[in-house]
């Protein structure tokens, strides 16, 4: 059982009904200098943690990227790896993802086996996370790269059964993922259905670009919302700050 400091702080926030906004920084989308700038603004705005990773990863500088972020901010920098190559000893923890919505053994257990000895060697805190890809209007990078089909968006009961299975298997968190830059976000009905049958933290991400959408996910029962792609849009930093503010002030 994971009793590491990062998961403990996530559980504590949940017990106190505090929601969080995490910001995803994909090294493919940012220079290290720009990422450090965004990280500082994120921290000042009340963002709870930074995620680092991506589906493709066309650069091999994840280690220096994570190290620079750790030196710049005090909020956790958590790995969100697309595969076992995306590891860094400088991270605060990692989401130990298993793509449970799919039936591809590589993403269910193969990459995890490759990563495990390195995680141990680095002394990283692995946070076991049931990662569920949800149909979002068009083929996303994670859908294509994993070679898996997403959960049908109009079937909240199927999502709930997957989440329950993850919890019964001992996973620490659920991540409902529409995919970065998704046209459609994870439906509120699906979040509510998952929330209704598990008591572990639920993360929701993919396509969240404004405060109203973020609030809808929180009202449906998300403990943590993730934004990433928004930062590439016009006024992205300002919009990210707005979302961080409304998540910070959210009371159910």
Candidate list 230, 244, 246, 247; residue touching ligand 1GP; CB under 6 A: 230
Residues 77-116 contacting ligand 1GP, CB under 6 A: none
- Per-residue interface string for the shown chain with ligand 1GP, residues 9-38, x marking contact by CB under 6 A: ---------------x--------------
Task: Single out the segment in contact with ligand 1GP by CB under 6 A; choices: 65-73, 86-94, 110-118, 176-184.
Answer: 176-184
State phi, psi for 180 to the nearest 5 degrees.
-65, 130
Candidate list 226, 243, 246, 247; residue touching ligand 1GP; CB under 6 A: 226
Element (H, E) at 4: none
CA nearest neighbour of 226 among 209, 251, 212, 248 = 209
Distance CA 101, CA 200 (A): 17
Q: Are 56 and 27 in contact (CB under 8 A)?
A: no
| Nearer to ligand 1GP (CB atom), residue 126 or residue 228 | 228
CA nearest neighbour of 222 among 177, 171, 167 = 177
Distance CA 20, CA 39 (A): 15
Q: Is 228 in the site for ligand 1GP (CB under 6 A)?
A: yes
Candidate list 163, 208, 222, 224; residue touching ligand 1GP; CB under 6 A: 208
Task: Kindly list the residues in this chain that would bind ligand 1GP in the complex (CB under 6 A).
Answer: 24, 177, 180-182, 205-208, 226-230
């Amino acid at each position: 059982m994971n009793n590491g400091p990062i998961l403990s702080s996530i559980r504590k926030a949940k017990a106190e009904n505090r929601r969080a906004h995490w910001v995803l920084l994909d090294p493919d989308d940012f220079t290290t200098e720009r990422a450090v700038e965004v990280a500082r603004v994120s921290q000042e705005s009340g963002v709870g943690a930074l995620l680092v990773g991506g589906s493709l990863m066309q650069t091999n500088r994840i280690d220096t990227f994570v190290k620079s972020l750790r030196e710049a901010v005090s909020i956790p920098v958590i790995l969100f790896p697309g595969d076992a190559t995306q590891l860094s000893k400088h991270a605060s923890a990692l989401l130990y993802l298993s793509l449970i919505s799919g039936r591809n053994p590589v993403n269910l257990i193969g990459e995890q086996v490759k990563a495990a000895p390195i995680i141990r060697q680095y002394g990283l805190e692995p946070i076991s996370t049931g990662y569920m890809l949800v149909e979002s209007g068009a083929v996303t990078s994670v859908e294509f790269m994993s070679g898996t089909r997403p959960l049908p968006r109009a079937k909240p009961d199927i999502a709930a059964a997957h989440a329950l299975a993850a919890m019964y298997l001992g996973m620490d968190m659920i991540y409902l993922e529409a995919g970065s830059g998704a046209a459609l976000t994870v439906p509120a009905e699906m979040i509510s259905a998952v929330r209704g049958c598990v008591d572990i933290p639920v993360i929701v991400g993919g396509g969240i670009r404004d405060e109203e959408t973020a609030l809808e996910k929180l009202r449906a029962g998300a403990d943590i919302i993730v934004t990433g792609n928004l930062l590439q849009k016009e006024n992205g930093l300002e919009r990210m700050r707005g979302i961080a503010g409304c998540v910070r002030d959210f009371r159910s």
